[in-house]
Amino acid sequence: MARSPAGESAVRTMARPGAFRLGVAIVLAGTLLHLPDVFMSGHHDFMMSHMPMSATMVLGMVLIGVGTVLAGYALVPRRSTAPALPPLRIVPSDRDRLTPAHAGLLAVLLFAVVIDVAKPATLGLVLPGLREEYGISADQAALLPLVALTGTVVGSLAWGVAADRIGRRPSILLAAVLFTATAVCGAMPSFTWNLITCFAMGSAAGGMVPTLFALLAESIPSRLRGRWSVLLASLGASGGYLLATGMAAALEAVSWRFLWLSGLPTGLLLVALNRYIPESPRFLLARGDAAGAEAVMRTYDMRTEPMAASADPPGTGAGGLRELVQHRPYALRFVMVAVLSLSWGLVNYGFLTMLPTMLDSAVQVDFAKLLFVASLCALLISFAVAFAYERLGSRRSLMIYAGGSAVALVTMSLVPASVQATSPLLLGLQIVVVLITCSGLSAMLGPYTAEVFPTALRGSAGGLGAAFGKAGGVVGPPVVAVVAASGGMGLAALAVAVPLGACVAMVAARGIETSGIALEDLAAATSAPAGSRV
């Protein structure tokens, strides 16, 4: 079979393809060694809590560790000895057209976002079966999502730095290898081992999405970048929840363990599709790899042109976190992104997660049906979110969606409990508005963060932003529970609405417009006034 142009450039930008394939094969072997014990437990309804860790499983864990290290080593690019390149701007031959290579990249990255979102979405779905098998309380079972979300925070930080140091493509592929490896979470005989492997799974999931958006922003023509990035984020989030719930419907009747084991084929498929994920041409130019960048740009029908000056200097991204903090314009941008992400996390993981328990028993609201309706609406309006981001502008869209959530939450806090009990339709409408606007805000955060930072900082900033969002999932539920215990659902809604309102003011004061503007120009706009188009 003839190799595709995208495949040729992908292979060219992989440091040690043979070692990578060997590492993946070793990880696969280690993962498969866990399956005999799983199938032997079928006579006991796949309950393994009574089984010890077998020698085969121990060998499998060792192989997974060895294979992961080998695959990671194979993906680290060789040190570049090329001289620094002059300032260059990447421009598409046709700014209004996507090439077949772009289409392949979008399809693979959409699949990656779907399986990445499905991982944390599955956490709540495995808890009932897990509790029954291990005989643990609800408080003990709550450790699983807590540990997994903590893993996503750590993964977001680590993967963001890795994306700037070793590249976007290696980071994505290594996360895919870990997705394959951590499928063994479904074979663990003890709850403690479930916590350990789910932390690793969360670490892999936490950093993939910001890296994906960094790669996408650096590969799509400026005119189309916002539209496709937001659409991919929105469809990927909806698809992730649909995948998780669909697998639960199909597999949970057999055993909750198969929800985790399904990560084996999905992770392997993402690894197999690696030829459609070339490295970012901007990252390659930043490393001084002109030949590699040229190979990738040919697949994307791009070219370079000289620039008189550049705020996106060549470099490997080493020291990116330090520069992010020390360089005032970038630091101010990051504070804005961090507060936005944390505020969204408090609403999404904190308020909405605790909402079913906060609703008064007199309030006749079927939250499960509301969640389904809101998810369906969010899927249907994905195209509207992308259209708003492109036509209204990224800055204005962020303000509208964050402000919409804040207004809905404030309105919810002002409605007396007696009115909520007698008018469940009003409360239901408010909840749907919060769910939809939060979904839209989530779809915009990743693409916007990728746009407002230069190449050398884009991965680190995206990872830190994602970490703040996931941190909202760690601290949100207990904070909301404490506030609700003293002041009810109304006070909890007001508490999470305040930071969202502050975000609207921050974006109005410090946000920069990104829609349709070249990344090189956005990198130069470190001191531009709010709303300027550079």
* Residue where the block lists tokens 């130069």: 524
Q: Does residue 314 lie in a domain region?
A: no
Task: Say if residue 452 is in the same domain as residue 391.
Answer: yes
Task: Say if residue 239 is in the same domain as residue 327.
Answer: no
Task: Say if residue 185 is in the same domain as residue 218.
Answer: yes
Q: Does residue 21 lie in a domain region?
A: yes
> Which pLDDT score is estimated for 318?
44
Task: Say if residue 458 is in the same domain as residue 487.
Answer: yes
Q: Does residue 394 lie in a domain region?
A: yes
Task: Say if residue 219 is in the same domain as residue 338.
Answer: no
What does the H/E/C string look like for 200-224? HHHHHHHHHHHHHHHHHHCCCCHHH
> Which pLDDT score is estimated for 60?
95
385: CB partners within 8 A, 6+ apart: 230, 231, 234, 397, 401, 440, 443, 444
Q: Does residue 530 lie in a domain region?
A: no
What is the rounded distance in angstroms from the CA atom of residue 215 to the CA atom of residue 274?
13
3-class secondary-structure state, position 89: strand
> Which pLDDT score is estimated for 365?
57
In Å, how far are 220, 221, 278, 514 from 105, measured between CA atoms?
A: 10, 13, 8, 22
Write the DSSP string, 220-250: S-HHHHHHHHHHHHHHHHHHHHHHHHHHHHH
Handedness of CA 524, 526, 529, 531 (dihedral sign): positive
Q: Which domain holds residue 359?
A: 320-524
Q: Does residue 90 lie in a domain region?
A: no
Q: Does residue 170 lie in a domain region?
A: yes
pLDDT in tens, the chain (534 residues): 344 545 555 545 566 888 999 999 999 999 999 999 988 887 888 888 878 888 999 999 999 999 999 999 999 887 765 566 667 778 777 667 888 889 999 999 999 888 888 877 787 778 888 888 888 887 788 888 889 889 989 999 888 888 988 899 999 999 999 989 999 998 999 999 999 998 998 888 877 888 999 999 999 888 889 889 999 988 888 788 778 777 877 776 678 888 888 889 988 999 999 888 989 998 888 888 888 888 899 888 888 877 765 444 444 444 456 667 777 778 888 889 999 999 999 998 888 877 777 765 445 555 556 666 666 776 777 788 888 888 899 999 999 999 999 999 999 888 776 666 566 677 777 888 888 888 889 889 999 999 988 888 888 889 989 999 989 888 888 888 889 888 888 899 999 999 999 999 999 988 889 988 888 788 766 544 444 333
What is the rounded distance in angstroms from the CA atom of residue 170 to the CA atom of residue 132?
39
Q: Does residue 315 lie in a domain region?
A: no
Task: Say if residue 276 is in the same domain as residue 327.
Answer: no
> Which domain CATH number covers 455?
1.20.1250.20
Task: Say if residue 108 is in the same domain as residue 190.
Answer: yes
Task: Say if residue 26 is in the same domain as residue 161.
Answer: yes
* Residue where the block lists tokens 């000056």: 309
What is the rounded distance in angstroms from the CA atom of residue 431 to the CA atom of residue 408?
8
Task: Say if residue 332 is in the same domain as residue 289.
Answer: no
Q: Pick the last residue of a domain from 248, 275, 303.
A: 303
Task: Say if residue 269 is in the same domain as residue 325.
Answer: no
Task: Say if residue 285 is in the same domain as residue 342.
Answer: no
Q: Nearest Cα to 355, choosing from 341, 340, 370?
A: 370
Neighbouring-strand partners of residue 303? 91
Q: Are 205 and 116 in contact (CB under 8 A)?
A: yes
Q: Pick the last residue of a domain from 255, 278, 303.
A: 303
> Which pLDDT score is estimated for 320?
57
Residue 3: left if φ>0, alpha if ψ -120 to 50, beta else—which one? beta
Name the residue type at position 222. Answer: S
Q: Pick the last residue of a domain from 277, 303, 329.
A: 303
Write the DSSP string, 254-323: T-THHHHHTHHHHHHHHHHGGGG-PPPHHHHHHTT-HHHHHHHHHHHTEEEEE-S--SS-----TTHHHH
Number of domains in the chain: 2
Q: Does residue 385 lie in a domain region?
A: yes
What is the rounded distance in angstroms from the CA atom of residue 226 to the CA atom of residue 217?
8
Task: Say if residue 157 is in the same domain as residue 225.
Answer: yes
